[in-house]
Amino acid sequence: MTEDNTQSAQRGSARHVPVLLERTLELLAPALEGDRPVLIDATLGLGGHAEALLTAHPGLTLIGLDRDPQALRLAQARLEPFGDRARLVQAVYDEIPEVLTELGFPGVDGVLFDLGVSSLQLDEAERGFAYAQDAPLDMRMDPSVGPTAADVLNEYPARDLARVLRVYGEERFASRIAAAVVRERGRAPFVTSGRLVELIYDSVPAATRRTGGHPAKRTFQALRIEVNTELDVLGRAVPAAVDSLRLGGRVVVLSYHSLEDRIVKQSLVGRSRSTSPEGLPVELPGHGPELRLLVRRGEQATEDEVTVNPRAASVRLRAAERIREVTG
């Protein structure tokens, strides 16, 4: 990253407004009132939530995870005043058990997930996450690992590419877009986003282009999820987070599209129910709910917050508290 881009990212960090910050602090606070609490910020990003949590709880140790080395560098600078109370690790959030073992923490009192693409990634054109600027088709959250979005577009068979767009982007015209991509890559491989955006625009009917936002939005979401295996990782990460919680510990998850929210809901709701056979007059020992849901439905941001922070428009918040330890 160039010096100009670094300075721009640092300014962006200073301006960054964490989504649903006050509600997140409110939900986590009861779990962080004990002696020397520990919390995992599983998606550290620019460190906005982390900074607020460390400020609100002077005895807190925060373990911050992010797979993006650029985000970690910026968050490290932001959280430097907190010294060793902020322990930052480059890791994907399904690696929570390994990180806790390595750092010597047998359990934690809170876990926070703020999912999706970060403001940093959207604002840095060369990362290729945003369809509004012509940039290399990368989309890797960790730029040193795995295939890029260009690799997916240039190498996937039409059937697999259509599946990615349909399942991860909920794109109605997935087959049409995939066929156009395969046809065009035969002329020249895809390298930058501008050509892809133009192709999508031409592939989507005019009537559809006039509603529902930018026609490339769903395809870019799908490619990002595929490149970073986001849903597979999330499906492992939420159970791992719950398993790491001590009795009374809390987990808060901010999701930004229905696919993420569905996985989170299933994970939390499933563990908030009894596993005793139906019809028994008493709860079988060891079969009671592990979690108490703190939010019955995915909470949304208020109109006022969306006005101040447009990224909050699509957020859904879910939270739960650990009420039973599982042994054996």
pLDDT at 73: 94
Rounding to the nearest 10 degrees, give the CA dihedral for residues 37, 40, 45, 47.
Answer: 0
Beta-strand ranges (E) seen in 15-127 are 38-41, 61-66, 86-90, 108-114
Q: CA-to-CA distance for 116 and 315, rounded, in angstroms? A: 10
Residue 316 token pair: 């859904």
Residue 286 token pair: 């060891």
Q: Are 85 and 60 in contact (CB under 8 A)?
A: yes
Give me the helix-helix angle, 48-56 and 69-79, nearest 10°.
30
Q: Are 263 and 235 in contact (CB under 8 A)?
A: yes
Residue 131 token pair: 């369809």
Quick one: which of 111, 88, 93, 113 has its CA closest to 40? Answer: 111
Q: What is the mean pLDDT of residues 243-261?
A: 96
pLDDT in tens, 87-124: 999 999 999 999 999 999 999 999 999 997 755 555 55
pLDDT at 115: 94
pLDDT in tens, 210-240: 776 788 899 999 999 999 999 999 999 999 9
Tell me if 121 is assigned to a ligand binding site: yes
Phi-psi region of 118 (alpha: psi -120 to 50; beta: other; left: phi over 0): beta
**Domains assigned to the chain:** 3-114+230-322 (3.40.50.150), 126-228 (1.10.150.170)
Tell me if 114 is assigned to a ligand binding site: yes
Q: Are 142 and 68 in contact (CB under 8 A)?
A: yes
Tell me if 48 is assigned to a ligand binding site: yes
pLDDT at 129: 61
pLDDT at 88: 98
pLDDT in tens, 269-280: 999 987 667 766
Give me the helix-helix angle, 69-79 and 3-15, nearest 10°.
60
Q: CA-to-CA distance for 219 and 236, rounded, in angstroms? A: 24
pLDDT in tens, 116-151: 775 555 555 555 567 767 899 999 989 888 899 999
pLDDT at 199: 96
